[in-house]
């Protein structure tokens, strides 16, 4: 695959035929994609059974009142006990990876402490787990029409309308979500 075909800094939009309920109507921001594999974070699936305050308590980080606006997300099915903060690049610390277009990723406790005190990044998503692909796996899924791609922007990544992100991403690339079908296969050809 040519370097310009890698999807780092872009979004994957799950097609209705994806076949994996964990990715149904998922929008994934691609943090890394190379010949060695790919890694991304689902940005539109909240975790309702675990709060930021509970996470801080588990990690022994003092809560300082800035936690009520921070919501945890399902980042993907790989390493679901590991946290990742996808954020605006106004916050940079040791271990922060700058991705593209003003977006960065930090997976250290320092960013959680900063967020708990209100000194973290201006925009962020705290995700547990990630979506990962072995070398060539994502490329095969793309060829099988499991995913569409679109450019990432601040609203798709950090907007609060989680339920509308998938539809909004499709609309931005000129697709009416109502026109997508879960049926696959050949057209009704007579035998």
**Distance separating alpha carbons of residues 67 and 56, to the nearest angstrom:** 9
Residue 47 CB contacts under 8 Å (≥ 6 apart), including other chains: 71, 72, 73, 74, 128
> Is 0.85 topped by the overall pTM?
yes
Q: With b meaning 16 or more CB within 10 Å and e meaning fewer, what string describes 83-120?
A: bbbbbbbebeeeebeebeeebbbbbeebbbbbbbeeeb
> Mean pLDDT over residues 3-26, rounded?
89
**Distance separating alpha carbons of residues 130 and 190, to the nearest angstrom:** 45
Instruction: Provide the residue count of the chain.
Output: 191
For 36-92, what is each residue's pLDDT tens digit?
999 999 999 998 887 787 888 888 777 776 556 778 899 999 999 899 999 999 999
pLDDT at 66 (0 to 100): 59
The CATH T-level fold of domain 3-179 is: VC0467-like (3.40.1740)
Counting Cα atoms < 13 Å in the Cβ hemisphere of 148 gives 19
Through-space distance between the first and last CA atoms of the chain, rounded to whole angstroms: 39
| CA neighbor of 41 nearest in space, from 111, 120, 103, 101 | 103
How many helices (H) and strands (E) are present in the chain, helices listed first?
5, 9
pLDDT at 188 (0 to 100): 45
pLDDT at 189 (0 to 100): 46
For 108-167, what is each residue's pLDDT tens digit?
889 988 888 888 899 999 999 999 999 999 999 999 999 999 999 999 999 989 999 999
């Amino acid at each position: 695959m040519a370097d310009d075909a890698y999807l780092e800094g872009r979004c994957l939009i799950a097609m209705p035929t994806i076949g994996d309920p964990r990715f149904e109507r998922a929008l994934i921001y691609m943090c890394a994609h190379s010949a060695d594999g790919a890694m991304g974070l689902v940005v539109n699936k909240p975790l309702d059974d675990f709060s930021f305050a509970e996470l801080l308590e588990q990690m022994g980080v003092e809560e300082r009142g800035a936690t009520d606006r921070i919501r945890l997300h399902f980042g993907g099915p790989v390493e679901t006990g590991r946290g990742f903060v996808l954020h605006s690049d106004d916050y940079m610390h040791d271990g922060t990876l700058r991705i593209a277009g003003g977006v960065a990723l930090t997976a250290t406790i320092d960013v959680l402490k900063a967020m708990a005190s209100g000194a973290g990044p201006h925009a962020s998503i705290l995700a547990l787990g990630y979506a990962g692909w072995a070398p060539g796996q994502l490329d095969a899924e793309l060829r099988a029409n499991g995913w569409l791609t679109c450019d990432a922007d601040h609203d798709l990544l950090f907007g609060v309308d989680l339920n509308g992100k998938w539809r909004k991403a499709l609309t931005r690339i000129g697709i009416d979500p109502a026109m997508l079908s879960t049926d696959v296969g050949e057209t009704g050809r007579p035998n």
